[in-house]
Chain A
């Protein structure tokens, strides 16, 4: 839930949103994904303990980060390309918000997790992280923030050449993904290290809360907030 609250300021003035708030929301989403055990920090603990080496823990973290980064880029990429169609800007924002709400509702109704995830071997952590980020809509959650940032930087103004515009929007997609994943890996990494070195394995089961409903609600909330400010900015 705290994720949604942190994101609320995102659109206080969506059209000319303060960049600061948007960046803050981006970092917050990264921290949120990082502490969620479903995004993989316990895997880093397990890797460190299984190999009896902190190096294995960090190797696992890198793999998790790489997978999450790839998933984020893959989801932001089509939006980055679409932004070239400047006159469609509002439809894109609207579509992104509705997509997020729709996905959140779907996750809320369909609580089962895709069985295909259970086929990924523990040696392929990057693939696992990628698949999990896609399946749970982790990357999708960033789209409204990304679009907001593009708008704040007036990347959608339409008075620039299409080529330059695309370069700028792609650059922003890479930057947004990197900032998000850096925040995610810092939060998850800190937690993994704390459990590995200080807190002990008891913390794994003690700290584990069922985030399913909260996660789906966060998706819907981000979508609704974005939608609200999309609509508000039209008037």
Chain B
């Protein structure tokens, strides 16, 4: 309990953009063969600092085989929700779920990020017992607790019952229980986010654990058995109010990015692959007249490539699918960043008109066939994957690993962990920063990035910017 709200809580996205820039980037490291414990790396991102672009601290976990993926803060700007009225918690703890182990680590980042340490460990049994879910994935700080989405239900392979969302107390880190009261037709899960004052949540679908834990199941993909629906929920009533099917060929609807400004009742979702033509797509969803709608608003074509440049999985297709595996929206809701992990491209779309995204910038780096090196000359394995934008929208950071077993299928030559950063022009445009290149220790891959003081996929707001 503090006397004042945390200074990194902001009432509106505009205020968040005006706040001081980040000094540290937290990045999750995973050991793909489970030979080493996973870790959290703290990277110095303060320009001019003698340790700029270097790992200045590492928190190594006491277990192996957790498979770190996504993570998040215990509290953020949503704590200023006028409905909750008690903004006296700190943005202090990082909540890191092990996607494979279902274990959750709580990391204390105070008094200093370079002294971050384990505060508490929630063992998998507690998650299983209290929620009936497994394989925790996305973390969002809500005004009334930490929301955690899961990819698995009960049982050893996570197929006993549907996956869903559960809530953890943001101070005691006690698992409180399931969030859903009525899930409607929802049986798969991936990402979720919300519009707090408009009181709705949006969730997406990836797959059940047997479809991803040992690698992508090509037969399931070609049979359109991966997720392809969006679910819209009444947030406080915890009820599924509408489900939109994007069409079975639009396989794997992953990251959900609502506009940060709560007066804007729209958002985006990325679809990994269209099984009819290997295309990736961006969809815009919006609420109008009390109903939700969604339409495909941008497509990214596959790139033909000779067989010898392709991994066995893709050789029959003679082309590289773009594989849009992450998207992220800038704090002012102007630019949408789209990771094309297959073709090795980071795209920047101007989404000022949300239903007409315009390509505003692009950089190539890595890629299955292109293998574009970093401008500093170093190799960049795999392609742009988890992307995070600074609050002010001037810097875009990304890493290169998707998921241990999938990395090996698409990039059999290995995926040494790398983190890079691109600078954004005032009116768009992207340019990789030659001086920012983080190589992680041997045997580690890098996944999601979180920025000190909040970032564009963490904070949600209850007041508009205007």
Contacts and interface: CB of A to CB of B under 8 A. Distances in A.
Interface in A108-155: 111, 113, 115, 117-123, 128, 132
B236 A210 contact: no
A122 B263 CA distance: 14
How many A residues touch the partner, as a band? 20 to 34
Interface string A49-60: 110100000000
B258 to A, nearest CB: 15
A208 B87 contact: yes
Interface residues of B, number: 34
A52 B464 CA distance: 9
Contacts of A43: 82-83
Contact of A201 (B2, B5, B11, B197): B11
B82 A45 contact: yes
Given A122-B197, A132-B85, A205 B237 contact: no
Interface string A181-208: 0000000000000000000011011001
A50 B87 CA distance: 20
Given A43-B83, A118-B84, A121-B236, A209 B463 contact: no
A123 B234 CA distance: 12
Given A49-B463, A50-B262, A205-B10, A210 B144 contact: no
A212 interface: yes
Interface stretch (A4-12, A19-27, A34-42, A81-89): A34-42
B463 A118 contact: no
Nearest to B2: A210
B244 interface: no
Contacts of B463: 45-46, 49-50, 201, 204
Contact of B199 (A115, A121, A208): A121
Contacts of A128: 83
Interface string B169-205: 0000000000000000000000000001111000000
Given A115-B144, A212-B88, A201 B236 contact: no
B364 to A, nearest CB: 40
A111 B171 CA distance: 12
Given A38-B86, A119-B236, A205-B5, A46 B462 contact: yes
Contacts of A113: 84-86
A39 B84 CA distance: 10
A38 B80 CA distance: 11
Given A123-B199, A201-B15, 7 more contacts: A49-B463, A50-B262, A117-B84, A132-B85, A201-B14, A204-B463, A210-B1
6 contacts: A40-B85, A42-B80, A45-B463, A113-B86, A210-B4, A212-B86
